[in-house]
């Protein structure tokens, strides 16, 4: 699998309220994400992080500027883009196998083929024994694995995840971070992860995008090439990089 590049040129988004007042959610975003890169996005609540993912996923159209994936303008949901919203976006009436196969069903892949592919994806994320379980019967970590399996089954070359581990306990969160890291390194897709955790951003993102309070702009982009190295979390430089990100978050009006 080869990841796809993402580009935002002068992207902005303005909401119009019921009283016709306008709210600027994002303004003047310029960003390029290389094919196969892992990018972390962090910023205060309300800065437009989730909106940024929705624009890249084609779920919203920008009010200004242009979003492209693999050189093609994003004008709606794209077949190769996997989007994991907060909470995972699982369908409670489908079992794990059905949820993992959802993208393939939407693509009208024949039933036998999509179920076989979905089973392989469940195995890859460690859920091969839970194919018949429903989301309510799974732990929080398992539900996040299932949301990721849905993207893998659809062979997504771009995965967008909106605070995927925020509801997990500390131990499960670290386990899921490792699952995401291992799969990204193995398969080579592009991933963009929104998080509120400085430590998570520095562990998973080869670059860390720090956003400003609304209207959301990019405050700074911090290079973090060591992300993904087995000993990175234990290195003194890791703590120093976390301090750099915290300083950027604090150095804002």
CATH number assigned to the domain comprising residue 19: 3.40.50.300
Are residues 233 and 161 located together in one domain of the fold? Answer: yes
Assign 25 a pLDDT band (cuts: 50, 70, 90): confident
Same domain for 15 and 112, yes or no, is no
Average model confidence (pLDDT) across the chain: 92
Which of 132, 155, 178 is the C-terminal boundary of a domain? 155
Confidence of residue 34 (pLDDT cuts 50, 70, 90): very high
- Regarding whether 147 and 161 lie in a shared domain, the answer is no
**Are residues 74 and 116 both part of a single domain?**
no
Give whole-number Cα distances, 167 to 4, 79, 154, 155, 183, in Å.
29, 28, 25, 26, 21
Same domain, 75 and 142: no
In this predicted structure, the answer to whether residue 214 has a pLDDT above a threshold of 80 is: no
Domain boundary among 155, 184, 205: 155
User: Domain boundary residue among 126, 155, 184?
Assistant: 155
CA distance to 78, 121, 153, 209, per residue, from 133 (Å): 29, 15, 17, 37
pLDDT band at residue 101 using 50, 70 and 90 as cut-offs: very high
Residue 1 within a domain = no
Looking at the domain assignment, is residue 85 inside a domain? Answer: no
Contact 84, 18 (CB under 8 A): no
My answer on whether 73 and 170 are in the same domain is yes
Q: What is the pLDDT of residue 1?
A: 63
Task: Tell me, yes or no, whether 203 lies in a domain.
Answer: yes
Higher pLDDT, 207 or 167: 207
Has residue 104 been placed in a domain?
A: yes
% of residues, the chain, pLDDT over 70: 98
In a domain? residue 165: yes
Both 65 and 166 in one domain: the answer is yes
Q: Do residues 113 and 191 make contact, with C-beta atoms less than 8 angstroms apart?
A: no
Rounded distance, CA 2 to CA 229, Å?
21
Calculate mean pLDDT across residues 69-76. Answer: 94
Number of structural domains found in the chain: 2
Q: Residue range 122-130: average pLDDT?
A: 91
32, two tokens: 């390029």
pLDDT: is 186 or 2 the higher one?
186
> What is the structure's pLDDT at 190?
97
Give CA–CA dist 253/250, Å, rounded.
8
- Please compute the mean of the pLDDT values over residues 70-97 and round it to a whole number: 93
Beta-carbon contacts of 174 under 8 Å, excluding residues fewer than 6 positions away, are: none
Q: Is it the case that residue 252 has pLDDT exceeding 70?
A: no
Expressed as residue numbers, the domain containing 106 is 90-155
**Are 187 and 72 contained in the same domain?**
yes
Within a domain: 245: yes
Range with lowest mean pLDDT among 45-49, 64-68, 94-98, 100-104: 45-49
Same domain, 51 and 117: no
Query: For the whole model, what pTM was predicted?
Result: 0.93
């Amino acid at each position: 699998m080869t990841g796809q590049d993402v580009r935002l040129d002068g992207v902005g988004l303005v909401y119009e309220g019921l009283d016709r007042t306008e709210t600027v959610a994002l303004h003047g975003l310029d960003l390029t994400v290389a094919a196969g890169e892992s990018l972390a996005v962090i910023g205060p609540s309300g800065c437009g992080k989730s909106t940024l993912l929705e624009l890249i996923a084609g779920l919203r159209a920008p009010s200004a500027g242009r979003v492209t994936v693999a050189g093609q303008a994003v004008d709606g949901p794209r077949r190769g883009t996997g989007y994991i919203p907060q909470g995972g976006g699982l369908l409670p009436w489908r079992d794990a196998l059905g949820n993992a196969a959802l993208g393939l069903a939407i693509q009208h892949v024949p039933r036998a083929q999509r179920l076989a592919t979905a089973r392989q994806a469940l195995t890859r994320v460690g859920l091969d024994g839970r194919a018949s379980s429903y989301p309510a019967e799974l732990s929080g970590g398992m539900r996040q694995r299932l949301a990721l399996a849905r993207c893998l089954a659809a062979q997504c070359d771009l995965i967008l995840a909106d605070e995927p581990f925020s509801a997990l306990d500390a131990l499960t969160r670290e386990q899921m971070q490792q699952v995401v890291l291992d799969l990204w390194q193995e398969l080579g897709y592009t991933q963009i992860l929104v998080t509120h955790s400085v430590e998570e951003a520095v562990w998973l993102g080869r670059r860390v995008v720090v956003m400003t309070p609304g209207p959301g702009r990019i405050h700074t982009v911090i290079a973090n090439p060591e992300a993904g190295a087995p000993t990175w979390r234990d290195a003194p430089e890791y703590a120093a990089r976390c301090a750099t990100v915290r300083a950027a978050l604090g150095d804002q009006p």
